[in-house]
Copies of this chain bind each other. A is one copy, B any other.
Amino acid sequence: MSIPDKVINRLTLYHFILDDLREDEIFISSTKIAKLLNIDDSQVRKDLKILNNSGKCHVGYNVKELKKSIEEQLGFKKTKDAFVIGAGNLGSALAKYATFKDYGLNILAMFDNDINKIGKTINGKEVFDISKVGNLSKRLNVDIAILTVPREYAKGVANFLAGAGIKYIWNFTPCILDVPKDIKVWNENLIGNFLQFTNNDEVKENKNDK
């Protein structure tokens, strides 16, 4: 069954909440989850229905069972290996982002074209020469790349990755890639997210603006 993107997103957030509860909190209500996320509790109940995990009246959802259902549904325990392309600031930060591993994303190695970076190890992940992507993606059975190269190289590198057997590109660059149809690209649009968040008149603007 395919789950809508928004639901996947919310289920992840519910899991964060469950993960933060004290050991002695056995049950949780949809109202509590909803309140923390500032959403409607009917939305929470609707999302959780997908998991076939029903709450009990006056008691709520069993925390352990609910956590397990979300994990199974979203595949946290099915590890997906990925490469980080670009061992700069953002690439290194993602390679060090400990929580990814808990949610099934395992960064196996990094790639760069800078000889000063190649051969180094960042959080246990070796930085390889970018030319080795194809070889290592075959050997290690990896088809996910997390793209964090500078904007001006993004398109060229993406096409190189497509030729090297990569099938999924999680694109952190502010650049729209132009790759063959069979490559799935997900634009992690940080700037768009920020603008959504602040696109209202209340945010204080810098007074030096023209």
Using a CB–CB cutoff of 8 Å, the interface residues on chain A facing chain B are 2-3, 5, 8-13, 16-17, 20, 36-38, 74-75, 77-81, 88-90, 92-93, 96-97, 99-100, 103-106, 141-144, 151, 155, 167-168, 170, 174-176, 178, 181, 184-200, 202-210
Contacts and interface: CB of A to CB of B under 8 A. Distances in A.
Nearest to A146: B194
B204 A143 contact: yes
B170 A194 contact: yes
A134 to B, nearest CB: 15
Given A16-B174, A99-B174, A204-B142, A192 B80 contact: no
A20 B198 contact: no
29 contacts: A2-B199, A3-B199, A8-B192, A9-B196, A10-B192, A12-B191, A12-B195, A13-B192, A17-B176, A20-B175, A38-B185, A75-B199, A79-B206, A79-B209, A89-B93, A90-B97, A99-B151, A100-B190, A100-B194, A103-B174, A103-B191, A105-B194, A141-B204, A142-B204, A143-B203, A168-B197, A168-B198, A184-B197, A188-B190
B8 A195 contact: yes
Contacts of A2: 199-200
Contacts of A191: 12, 99-100, 103, 105
A78 B205 contact: yes
A79 B210 CA distance: 10
Nearest to A8: B196
Contacts of A11: 192
A72 to B, nearest CB: 12
